Chains A and B, each alone.
Chain A
Amino acid sequence: QSVLTQPPSVSGAPGQRVTISCTGSSSNIGAGYEVHWYQQLPGTAPKLLIYDNSNRPSGVPDRFSGSKSGTSASLAITGLQAEDEADYYCQSYDNSLSGVVFGGGTKLTVL
């Protein structure tokens, strides 16, 4: 299983707000390492969505936001749209593994 824990799936109706959690431990998120989020559409490479916990790269809509507290982080998506249907992954660094770690991924379904 993954070092970072995400719910396997979340869903919401168009226009609604959903959140995706990413739970770690004292050797990764809790140690102060930044959390990053990626969106992966079917059959494509991951795309950076949020970096350093809460920053959006140029071109990412402000409907996407990130936060971090303690050993967990969250991705929030407001005003859900059909094109948001994708897999979402969190990423951080783990000092006991001495490497990058990812969450198991969360499939977002727009109802």
Chain B
Amino acid sequence: EVQLLESGGGLVQPGGSLRLSCAASRFSFSSYAMSWVRQAPGKGLEWVSAISGSGGHTYDADSVKGRFTISRDNSKNTLYLEMNSLRAEDTAVYYCAKPSRCSVGDCREAFDIWGQGTMVTVSS
């Protein structure tokens, strides 16, 4: 079964940093662009960042531009999200998501596979 498994969430102080990971299994990881999507407590879904299958192109939402960096290691089938200068409004469950058929990064396709999510809490 195709699977995504996030890790790395936790409690961090405002201004701090955190690195999330997403381990992919049972699909050709490098053939697909990947995204991070977050959901603040009791709120809706918000797309955060995307990266092409090769890792050569990245895209970020304005809300995280300059603070978050998406990357991937195709040899380890793993997606990352480096989060710096964290703010209270970054508190959310962070999901990694795979598009159904996109490799370039700037995807318009549906996300057919989602991880279970990892919680990030930014608080002093």
Q: Do A and B come from one complex?
A: yes
Q: Tell me whether A100 and B107 are in contact (CB under 8 A).
A: yes
Q: Taking CB as reference atom, which chain A residue is nearest B35?
A: A100
Given the interface contacts A45-B95, A47-B114, A48-B111, does A102 sit within 8 Å of B100 by beta carbon? Answer: no
For residue B50, which residues in chain A have a CB less than 8 angstroms away from its CB?
99-100
For residue B110, which residues in chain A have a CB less than 8 angstroms away from its CB?
34, 36, 48, 51-52, 91
The answer for the CA separation of A36 and B59 in the assembled complex, in Å, is 20
The answer for the CA separation of A51 and B101 in the assembled complex, in Å, is 12
Interface assignment of B108: CB less than 8 Å from any CB of chain A: yes
For residue B95, which residues in chain A have a CB less than 8 angstroms away from its CB?
45-46
Given the interface contacts A45-B95, A97-B62, A98-B106, does A51 sit within 8 Å of B112 by beta carbon? Answer: yes
The answer for the CA separation of A48 and B109 in the assembled complex, in Å, is 11
Tell which of B21-29, B41-49, B78-86 binds the partner. B41-49
Interface set, chain A 14-72, CB cutoff 8 A to B: 33-34, 36, 38, 44-48, 51-52, 57
The answer for the CA separation of A99 and B63 in the assembled complex, in Å, is 12
B59 contacts which of A46, A99, A105 (Cβ < 8 Å)?
A99
The answer for the CA separation of A2 and B106 in the assembled complex, in Å, is 20
Q: Interface residue tally of chain B, by bracket?
A: 20 to 34
Interface assignment of B116: CB less than 8 Å from any CB of chain A: yes
- How many residues belonging to A are interface residues under a CB distance threshold of 8 Å? 26
What is B's interface to A at a CB cutoff of 8 Å? Answer: 35, 37, 44-47, 50, 59, 61-62, 95, 100, 106-112, 114-117
For residue B47, which residues in chain A have a CB less than 8 angstroms away from its CB?
99-102
For residue A2, which residues in chain B have a CB less than 8 angstroms away from its CB?
44
Known A38-B45, A100-B50, A101-B47; 6 more pairs at CB < 8 Å: A33-B108, A45-B114, A89-B44, A98-B59, A100-B37, A102-B45
Q: Tell me whether A89 and B108 are in contact (CB under 8 A).
A: no
The answer for the CA separation of A100 and B116 in the assembled complex, in Å, is 20
For residue A34, which residues in chain B have a CB less than 8 angstroms away from its CB?
108-110
* Residue of A36, A38, A105 ringed by the most chain B CB atoms within 10 A: A36
For residue B108, which residues in chain A have a CB less than 8 angstroms away from its CB?
33-34, 92-93, 100
Q: Tell me whether B44 and A104 are in contact (CB under 8 A).
A: yes
